[in-house]
Amino acid sequence: MTAREMKRALRGEALARRDALDPNWRVEASLGFAEWVDELAPGPGRVVSGFWPMRSEVDVRPLMAALADRGARLCLPAILDKTTIVFRELKRGAPLVDMGFGTQGPGEDAAVLEPELMLVPLAAFDRRGHRIGYGAGYYDRAIARIQENGTAAPRLVGIAFDCQEVPQVPDEMHDVIIPEILTESGLRRFPPPL
């Protein structure tokens, strides 16, 4: 079995576990993520990318609102084409448009920002901080692009439920390791690879 096939299988298993969570419990657990705002808040005026939840994902909107209350500038991913996302500024009261995959985000008139803290969605993760996304590679490419632009590497925090942990994600050269993952159990930090 190839790494890609193994990832596909692990993704399916982790998402099935996530989908099986009681919807009311998911809402309560998602609200609890906002309690980590002090640990995550990058400071007034700093740019934080979140994401609009799809299907049974953690709803990070309460955490994003708490970060905004601490002065963070928020942005959401916008899909430009089959390989590229950018992060558009999210302002209270601004209209949102369909972004595909059941998500919403700011329209083309919103400013494009470079996040300093990225709340990263994922399908599965392991104890090393390796993540499995949804298979399109949008975040891996966006993170690489931000780092290549010469700006400081953003702080990456994966967002998931505990049930999305898998024993080991197959390593691939293009994968971005997520040094921190926030679940309903708390913030996990992973040592950098040797």
Give the tens place of pLDDT for each residue, 120-136: 999 999 999 999 998 77
Characterize 130-155 residue by residue with b for buried, 16 or more Cβ atoms within 10 angstroms of its Cβ, and e for exposed: bbbbeeeebbbebbeebeeeeeeebb
Radius of gyration of the chain (CA): 16
SS3 24: helix
- Identify the band that residue 73 occupies on the pLDDT scale cut at 50, 70 and 90: very high
pLDDT of residue 150: 65
pLDDT exceeds cutoff 70 at 194: no
CA–CA distance, 139 with 66 (Å, rounded to integer): 23
Helices 61-69 and 23-33: crossing angle in degrees, nearest 10, is: 20
Q: pLDDT tens across 84-115, in order?
A: 889 999 998 888 888 777 778 898 999 999 99
Contact (CB, 8 A) for 67 and 115:
no
Kindly list the structural domains of the chain, giving each domain's residue range(s) and its CATH number in brackets, ordered by start: 3-189 (3.40.50.10420)
pTM (two decimals): 0.93
Bridging pattern class, strands 180-183 and 186-189: antiparallel
**What count of Cα atoms within 13 Å lies in the side-chain half-sphere of residue 27?**
2
Mean pLDDT of 58-65: 96
pLDDT of residue 57: 95
- Identify the band that residue 10 occupies on the pLDDT scale cut at 50, 70 and 90: very high
SS3 113: strand
DSSP E strand boundaries for 12-160: 47-49, 73-79, 85-90, 96-100, 103-106, 112-113, 117-121, 124-125, 131-132, 155-159
Residues 6 or more apart whose CB falls under 8 angstroms from that of 83 comprise: 137, 138, 141
- 85 has which bridge partners? 79
pLDDT exceeds cutoff 80 at 164: yes
pLDDT exceeds cutoff 80 at 174: no
Contact (CB, 8 A) for 30 and 59:
yes
pLDDT exceeds cutoff 70 at 193: no
Query: In this predicted model, which residue has the larger pLDDT, 162 or 136?
Result: 162
pLDDT exceeds cutoff 90 at 192: no
- Identify the band that residue 81 occupies on the pLDDT scale cut at 50, 70 and 90: confident
